[in-house]
Chain A
Amino acid sequence: MANGEREVGADAPAGGFVQLLTPDGERVDSVTTTDGMTYSVDFTDEEYRELYRDLVTVRRLDAEATALQRQGELGIWASLLGQEAAQVGSGRALRKQDMAFPTYREHGVLYTRGIDPIMPFGLFRGVDQGGWDPHEFKFNTYTIVIGSQTLHATGYAMGITMDGKTGTPDGEAVIAYFGDGATSQGDVNEAFVWSGVFNSPIVFFCQNNQYAISEPLERQTRIPLYRRAAGYGFPGIRIDGNDVLASYAVTRAALDQARNGQGPSLIEAYTYRMGAHTSSDDPTRYRIASEVESWKAKDPIARVRAFLTKQQVADETFFAEVDDTAKKLALDLRERVLAMPDPEPVTMFDNVYPHGSPEIDAQRASFERYHATFEGSGH
């Protein structure tokens, strides 16, 4: 299931990928794959500008979070640096009714869902358990365990099928995010099996950032990851993960197929993690500098900026305003993160049972009395 018929750019891996915007900012009108699928986008100037704003904003917020971790204000941070296009493109491709299942790195997708970016910071700052209402924004909680969210997403997709919420042009579809390392997990393979067999309305969106922490891709797979889908009986396609347009176009098409009852698909977004796996990791121990440099030339934001400039869709004033707005958002985020209160010890009893239980209530009361014996306990 090779990708493009057209000559793909020099930056494409063997086998090609769908690319609608080259690293130099050249627009490719459309790409038709050997499967007969044609991908393109038709954005207004304003939509192009807003995509650029999304990309810059999520990168700036991410940089602020990385700084906060280094300053001891977050316990850990998983940076999305380099993967903005894959996340913003696929996130913007979701329709309001679609449900997303993130890993712990999908800050960009979270942002495109219209969620206050501070939402996951309680988890990384260690002041809450990272819980939120997945239905409110149709965005599941961050999942730390590698790959398990693909099974949750599969179950959810089977569920909405049984509920009759899908199978129509305005039905619901599901997207499950995971990384290249997760493809080695049993969970992900089970999710592929179940989704394939039950023809579930789900898009598996794999951000192949080339490293499972320190393990390179060649230690994960013998074939390109998107080709695995064939073994489970659904289509797989590879996109330039640093191209926000390809990410948008292919994800939107795959989601629409899913919501129309045409079953799952696998998208491999071929990208690169420019930073560390998390703030606890040192990528210089397993990656060579020249590799990182070569990916810098494929930066997802620079190409959009080049495109906007060439098309005279945006000018320096616009770019400066975007940077400035992003910086303000980041500093505001910083202030609010620093102001996050430490949890009261008794909050550990809050989410044990949805409606409480006599035993837990008694434990809470006893614990409260004990705490009241300390100075400054405040209640």
Chain B
Amino acid sequence: MSRIKEFPLPDLGEGLTEGEILAWLVKVGDTIELNQPIVEVETAKAAVEIPAKWAGVVTKIFFEAGTTVEVGSPIVAIDTDPSAGPLPADDGLPVPSAESLAAVEIAPAEGAVEPGLIGGPAPGGRTAVLVGYGPKNTTAKRRPRIGTTPAPSPANVPSPPPAAATAHRPAAAPASPSAPEVRSPNGRTSGPVKASPVKAGPVKAGPVLAKPPVRKLARDIGVDLAVVAGTGPMGSVTRDDVHQAAAAPEAAAPTPALAPAAAVFDASREQRIPVKGVRKLTAENMVASAFTAPHVTEFLTVDVTRSMKAVEKLKGRREFADLRVSPLLMVAKAVLLAVERHPMVNSTWSAGTNEIVVKEYVNLGIAAATERGLIVPNVKDAGRLSLRELSEALNTLVQVAKSGKTPPSDMSGGTLSITNVGVFGIDTGTPILPPGESAILAFGAVKPMPWVHNGKIKIRQVTTLALSFDHRIIDGELGSKFLRDIGEFLTDPEGALLAWT
């Protein structure tokens, strides 16, 4: 056994396959003790510190912080006997020994399955899937049977498992700018694209052979199938052919010589930001919402001069002395009162049970821009709060969000939301519903505008409200009445309050 020991990333929580290195607590050359914390790793379940398995000296760190590593990949090498003198030149190489590789027989490819059938490899390296957990991207390790193991030949010694190739996802762009990586759907990285033969494909006569999903893909990414050379069965165009054709113009076209200082449009001028954390969650939520709930957005431009005056009046009152009173408070109150008049808007579509769940409580979400990205914490049971309590709750919510300490409980269970795009000076937008909610109001900037007031053109404080709602639950009529009520309150808060409550 070598004195250099490699520590593979363990499964830190019952069936996890990967973890992200958050920070190294040691560096190469450090002397460490047994059980000394050496690295922070975040998995889907928890962020944990890993204690050193051996005492010794750190000789190699395999992955930098920020890297997502597959379970089983070595992450650190430790010289467990540093007092034994300098290392022999080869000893430090953390390469799996030939024997250890030979001891693992890679299961043969299931070549018996006809290409394209469910479970079999489809043209282009994909695995066709109808149901289930998706294609298996790892190869099974099987013990060799007695008398059946061929002597390891170069062809038979497996290349390092795909784990090694995909585990390391550097944030930096690939070094060779003219050879973009193509990541096939199964996550494996293929080499530089050989683009020229595909691109040069002649325009063919007659119909192009391609399966419907490939045709859709081509249409989606704007590739003309007629100019793609098919490499699939009977010359049909495969998914990879389409991807290659799409990549081809950038990959293959030499920079025209006619522009002496031609702009370069490649990786050297692109920044790659790993999608994770709040950004990843936001993206998933937005996609989930935008493609399940049919959105409708309505607009209403209203004169909020009286609301702004009401805000000023509140600021002067003793009860609000220690609070930051903002126009958002008026909008929140307007929404809450309007919900009381139209409870149906405060509901959720439960596809699982085929029901519309109308909620008697309003957990009012407020979209907040934070350093971590967009989050939508909510004020629980906002409908029961007095105006002062509501103001307090909004203050706290925003402050906590800005400090980045919003607990998860504050971000779940929202029933209806407000996004205050006005703070950025924007007139309005068409907000996307937070998943599970049926209405979201965008509150635009309040600007002085010429407005017809009492039959004359006056300068008034005007804003535009935009209400997006889930058209499965809320018809145009209901949505319109709800938005109209919000507008009425903001136009004349005192009057509306007296009339409605």
Q: Which residues of A contact B (CB under 8 A)?
A: 63-64, 67, 69-73, 75-76, 276, 279-282, 284-286, 288, 331, 373-377
**Is A375 in contact with B144, judged by CB distance below 8 angstroms?**
yes
Taking CB as reference atom, which chain B residue is nearest A63?
Answer: B35
> Shortest beta-carbon distance, A372 to chain B, in Å?
8
* 25 contacting pairs across A/B (C-beta < 8 A): A63-B35, A64-B35, A67-B51, A69-B12, A70-B10, A70-B12, A70-B49, A70-B50, A71-B51, A71-B53, A72-B10, A72-B11, A73-B10, A75-B14, A76-B13, A276-B46, A279-B12, A279-B13, A280-B12, A280-B46, A282-B45, A282-B46, A285-B46, A374-B145, A375-B145
> In the assembled complex, which residues on chain B have CB atoms less than 8 Å from the CB atom of A282?
45-48
> In the assembled complex, which residues on chain A have CB atoms less than 8 Å from the CB atom of B51?
67, 70-71
Taking CB as reference atom, which chain B residue is nearest A281?
Answer: B46
The complex places the Cα of A282 from the Cα of B409 at a distance, in Å, of: 15
Contact mask B391-408 → A, CB, 8 Å, 1/0? 000000000000000011
B143 at the interface (CB under 8 A from A): yes
Pick the contact of A67: B35, B149, B407 (CB < 8 A): B35
Q: Which residues of B contact A (CB under 8 A)?
A: 7-14, 34-35, 45-51, 53, 143-146, 149, 407-409
> Shortest beta-carbon distance, B133 to chain A, in Å?
20
Pick the contact of B146: A284, A285, A374 (CB < 8 A): A374
Taking CB as reference atom, which chain B residue is nearest A75?
Answer: B14
Given A73-B53, A75-B14, A280-B13, output 8 extra A-B contacts at Cβ < 8 Å. A71-B51, A72-B8, A75-B11, A280-B12, A285-B46, A288-B407, A375-B146, A375-B149
Taking CB as reference atom, which chain A residue is nearest B142?
Answer: A374
Taking CB as reference atom, which chain B residue is nearest A374?
Answer: B143
- Give the dominant DSSP class at B's interface: loop
Pick the contact of A373: B45, B53, B146 (CB < 8 A): B146
> In the assembled complex, which residues on chain B have CB atoms less than 8 Å from the CB atom of A374?
143-146
The complex places the Cα of A72 from the Cα of B71 at a distance, in Å, of: 10
**Is B408 in contact with A285, judged by CB distance below 8 angstroms?**
yes
Pick the contact of B143: A284, A286, A376 (CB < 8 A): A376
The complex places the Cα of A280 from the Cα of B53 at a distance, in Å, of: 19
The complex places the Cα of A358 from the Cα of B40 at a distance, in Å, of: 53
> Shortest beta-carbon distance, A145 to chain B, in Å?
16
**Is B50 in contact with A375, judged by CB distance below 8 angstroms?**
no
> In the assembled complex, which residues on chain A have CB atoms less than 8 Å from the CB atom of B34?
331
> In the assembled complex, which residues on chain A have CB atoms less than 8 Å from the CB atom of B48?
70, 279, 282
Given contacts A67-B51, A71-B50, contact A280 B408 (CB under 8 A): no
> In the assembled complex, which residues on chain B have CB atoms less than 8 Å from the CB atom of A67?
35, 51
The complex places the Cα of A342 from the Cα of B408 at a distance, in Å, of: 41
* Interchain residue pairs A-B with the least CB separation, the first 4: A72-B10, A282-B46, A280-B13, A71-B53
Taking CB as reference atom, which chain B residue is nearest A287?
Answer: B407
Given contacts A374-B146, A375-B146, contact A71 B45 (CB under 8 A): no
Taking CB as reference atom, which chain B residue is nearest A70?
Answer: B50
The complex places the Cα of A279 from the Cα of B49 at a distance, in Å, of: 11
> In the assembled complex, which residues on chain A have CB atoms less than 8 Å from the CB atom of B13?
76, 279-280
Pick the contact of B10: A71, A276, A285, A373 (CB < 8 A): A71
> Shortest beta-carbon distance, A133 to chain B, in Å?
28
> Shortest beta-carbon distance, B51 to chain A, in Å?
4
> In the assembled complex, which residues on chain A have CB atoms less than 8 Å from the CB atom of B145?
373-375
> In the assembled complex, which residues on chain A have CB atoms less than 8 Å from the CB atom of B50?
70-71
> Shortest beta-carbon distance, A40 to chain B, in Å?
40
> Shortest beta-carbon distance, B18 to chain A, in Å?
14
> Shortest beta-carbon distance, A315 to chain B, in Å?
27
> Shortest beta-carbon distance, A283 to chain B, in Å?
8
> Shortest beta-carbon distance, A240 to chain B, in Å?
29
Taking CB as reference atom, which chain A residue is nearest B144?
Answer: A375
Given contacts A67-B51, A374-B146, contact A280 B10 (CB under 8 A): no
> In the assembled complex, which residues on chain B have CB atoms less than 8 Å from the CB atom of A71?
7, 10, 50-51, 53
> Shortest beta-carbon distance, B291 to chain A, in Å?
28
The complex places the Cα of A104 from the Cα of B409 at a distance, in Å, of: 28
The complex places the Cα of A67 from the Cα of B37 at a distance, in Å, of: 9
The complex places the Cα of A280 from the Cα of B19 at a distance, in Å, of: 13
**Is A375 in contact with B143, judged by CB distance below 8 angstroms?**
yes
**Is B146 in contact with A281, judged by CB distance below 8 angstroms?**
no
The complex places the Cα of A73 from the Cα of B408 at a distance, in Å, of: 31
The complex places the Cα of A343 from the Cα of B12 at a distance, in Å, of: 22
The complex places the Cα of A63 from the Cα of B35 at a distance, in Å, of: 10
Given contacts A374-B145, A375-B143, contact A280 B7 (CB under 8 A): no
> In the assembled complex, which residues on chain A have CB atoms less than 8 Å from the CB atom of B10?
70-73
> In the assembled complex, which residues on chain A have CB atoms less than 8 Å from the CB atom of B9?
72
The complex places the Cα of A284 from the Cα of B14 at a distance, in Å, of: 19
Taking CB as reference atom, which chain A residue is nearest B47?
Answer: A282
